[in-house]
Amino acid sequence: MNVFLPNYSQNMHFANSWEEQKQCFSPLFSFNTFGCYDANITLSINMSEDYSNERTRVYTLKLRALLEDLPPICAEFFRGIEPSTSVLTRYGYALDLKLFFKFLISDSLCSGLLSIRDIDCSILENVSIDHIERYLEYVAMYPAETDSEDYEKEEYITNGERAKARKLSSVRSFFKYLYKKGRITRNVAALADTPKVHEKPIVKLEPDEIDALLTVVESGEGLSPAQKKYHKQTQVRDTAIVTLFLGTGMRISELVGINIDDLNFMSNEVRIVRKGGNQDVLVFGSEVREALLNYMLRRENMTAQPGHEKALFLSMQNKRMTVRAIENLVKKYAALAAPLKRISPHKLRSTYGTMLYRESGDIYLVADVLGQKDVNTTRKHYVPQAEDRRRFAAEVISLKGKKSGTADADTKNGNEPDETE
């Protein structure tokens, strides 16, 4: 269903709530559901902070629970790095360190210890570079925690280059802190070589694949009968989600956290909470606007579960959609539109960043819109220079007619090309 979009005066001020914005779309909307949440862009309290704060609370509790299993010195480490890291980063460090301590407890270095809680600085002082290197070898494939004693049926967890490098980074941060604070006299983790990480090509959608993806989301063509049954109920929502990814390049966590009154249709803006908790405002185009308004027609008549009333995107259970649910949603449609590529929400972000750079040629603009502080990161992940050069090289040579004058010039001068060149 297409929504007729009324014209607005350029001088129209920012509406204070979704209720006020709805007045501009009458008679498209009935006025009987949402509460009046203040959505003024200048407010310091952002509605999408509810999701961000809740996620911080959950991971804070998870980290505290995990610390109960770790050596006491870890509590000091996490307090020390708290001002400069997010709780999600610290939780990731805690998981990595727990695995490192489990490896140490199985080594002769910790003979006689019954628990990783018993590991102290005197033991860490004796960790050698050999321990670090053997740990990296161990994490490449190690047994998952199960009750099975059958080695043939035992499940194993594998880690590639990037995962191994991240786990080494966690250990390095821990030893660096202990050395800085004088808890140990040497930092052996700093001597370990970082696992070589081979660069991967930027995976993104080409224009025809973008069109195919949007067509699949809207039509449901190619879905199984069971999937089509649910597609009738979620088509408008799914179209809005995919269009929002492709039209803004936002991260999946940013999309999940959007609340109804984070949308401003007067200025085509959406407020989000970036990584690290910083607030930002993204501007969206007419296609995103239309998709969102179509969804709001549906969202207007949905009754959210208690505690999820503010959420923009709701699941079939009328709860805020989770990261996992949106990942599965994107993969389901992308598998039909681009079956040879493994497309995730982050790959849609790559698609947007690459398209924006190709259109503008401004790497600083791309970094700003994507919310990246380091422009080198943007250049590395969103500027497909190598691919562009390969495409250029493929088109330069003509097999039926020479495009280059080099060979002709050699012939005219009586010189035959050297077959060894």
302 HSE (CA, 13 A, CB side): 25
Question: Which value, to the nearest 10 degrees, does the dihedral of the CA atoms of residues 49, 54, 56, 59 take?
Answer: -160
Distance CA 396, CA 399 (A): 10
Q: Is the distance from CB of 138 to CB of 170 less than 8 angstroms? A: no
Amino acid at 272: I
- Any idea where the domains of the chain sit in the sequence? 18-45+203-382, 49-191
Cis-peptide into 27, omega within 30 deg: yes
Q: What are the mean pLDDT values of the chain's consecutive 10-residue runs (421 residues total)?
A: 35 50 56 34 43 87 96 96 93 96 87 88 94 93 69 77 93 96 95 83 90 96 92 95 96 94 92 86 94 94 91 95 96 95 94 91 90 85 66 70 50 45 40
pLDDT at 19: 64
Residues 6+ apart with CB under 8 A from 411: none
Distance CA 123, CA 332 (A): 49
Tell me the DSSP string of 380-416: HHH--HHHHHHHHHHHH--SSS---SHHHHHHHTTPP
Q: Is the distance from CB of 117 to CB of 70 less than 8 angstroms? A: yes
pLDDT at 9: 35
**How many CB atoms sit inside 10 A of residue 208's CB?**
10
Instruction: List strand residue ranges (DSSP E) for 96-234, in order.
Output: 141-143, 156-158
Residues 6+ apart with CB under 8 A from 327: 252, 344, 345
- Provide the terminal-to-terminal Cα distance of the chain, rounded to the nearest Å: 62
Q: Which residues of 4-15 are buried (b: 16+ CB within 10 A; e: fewer)?
A: eeeeeeeeeeeb
3-state secondary structure of 4: coil
Torsion-angle region of residue 315: left (phi > 0), alpha (psi -120 to 50) or beta? beta
pLDDT at 36: 31
* Neighbouring-strand partners of residue 264: 269
Q: Is the distance from CB of 283 to CB of 78 less than 8 angstroms? A: no
Output the CATH code of domain 49-191: 1.10.150.130
Residues 6+ apart with CB under 8 A from 146: 154, 155
Q: Alpha helix (H) ranges present in 271-344? A: 286-299, 323-337
- How many residues would you count in the chain? 421
CATH superfamily placement of domain 18-45+203-382: Intergrase catalytic core (1.10.443.10)
Tokens of 119: 């590991």
pLDDT at 411: 45
Tokens of 238: 């799914």
415 HSE (CA, 13 A, CB side): 9
Tell me the DSSP string of 305-316: PTT-TTBSSB-T
